[in-house]
Amino acid sequence: MVTHRPALHLDAAFVLNKQCFTTQSTLCYTIGMIQRIAAIVFIFVCASAGWMILAGTLSYRSSSADSGLRGHVVSTWGAPHEQQPPSAVYEESVSHLVASVEDGKKIERTVTEKIYHALPLDGSRIQVGLQLEHRQKGLLWFSTYKVGFDGVYQFRNPTGDDQSVRFTLK
């Protein structure tokens, strides 16, 4: 008794791959390797583009939230501070005669002018203690500091006379 089996119909891609594997052709191996490498590169490029889009979105949202929340941080914990060195000035009064003509008469007046001279800063001894405290506002963290400041400043009087000096801290 003879049994007849129906013929199998294989698609062209399977036949091509079967032929490649059976013949171990170098060309078929190279084409398959190039296809795999191209697929890996395509996946890498798509994943990289996705991560760049995500990073751009997060950066934009963080910067827009930062500008909006900075005012709330300033109102809650205070604005940034800068400590400038003090200035010292002394006042000198200079008198001089000013001649003018009024109603056809020559009049001389004594005018006193105040001139302010800055004293040079000779030295300083400054101690600063900083303590970092991160504060969260929304999803963002802001750096705030507790500051302890102590300073001793030395000014030099360039004149030989005693002066009345005004010190200013800014």
Quote the pTM value.
0.46
CB atoms within 10 A of CB 78: 10
- Cα dihedral across residues 26, 32, 36, 39: positive or negative: positive
* Nearest-angstrom CA–CA distance, 137 and 73: 7
Residue-wise pLDDT tens digits, 80-110: 778 788 899 999 888 888 888 888 888 888 8
Q: Is the pLDDT reported for residue 11 higher than 90? A: no
* Nearest-angstrom CA–CA distance, 99 and 106: 7
Q: What is the pLDDT of residue 10?
A: 47
Q: What is the pLDDT of residue 61?
A: 79
Going from N- to C-terminal start, the domains of the chain cover 12-77, 87-168
Residue-wise pLDDT tens digits, 121-165: 889 999 999 898 888 877 778 888 888 889 899 988 888 888 889
Q: What is the pLDDT of residue 6?
A: 52
